[in-house]
Amino acid sequence: MKHVCSVLLVCCLLTGYSHARAVACSNASLNGGFGFSVAGNNLTLGVAFAISGRFTADGQGHFSGNAIENVAGTVSSTPFEGSYQTSKDCTGTAKFFFPGGVESNMSFVLVDNSNQLIITVTDQGTMESGTAQKQFPSSPEKQSDK
């Protein structure tokens, strides 16, 4: 009986493991409206930085949004757009384009059934990270609001 219980436990664990590994992400996994916040330091310029706002991802590798940023105590509103690529393992990269030709690169991990992103800015001379949360995850019709 002890061996049967052990075998059943191992089978259950392996079955759960194989199902967890079977999940694959794609650009379509990042879709809808998200609220986000990223903060840290631009080490090259020696200034603190924070930005928060909202973006909408189209599930095809493009996004756009608006944010409030605070750079060394100067606050401004800024629109942005960009592109992203999501890998099967739910990691990805994104490139943001801001007015005036300013660009920023990020890496991310999709978690919580694609309802959250963990973000790290990957530009040289920066130490910035943050998160993004899907808005209205249980109401798909509200996610398309722009």
- Per-residue pLDDT of 58-106, as tens digits, reads 999 999 999 999 999 999 999 999 999 999 999 999 999 999 999 999 9
pLDDT of residue 41 exceeding 50, the answer is: yes
Asked if residues 37 and 52 have their Cβ atoms less than 8 Å apart, the reply is yes
34 φ, ψ to 5°?
Answer: -135, 140
Write down the domain spans for the chain: 27-143
What's residue 76's pLDDT? 96
Q: Please name the fold of domain 27-143.
A: Lipocalin (2.40.128)
pLDDT of residue 143 exceeding 60, the answer is: no
Q: What is the 3-state secondary structure (H, E, C) of 78-121?
A: EEEEEEEEECCCCEEEEEEEEHHHEEEEEEEEEECCCCEEEEEE
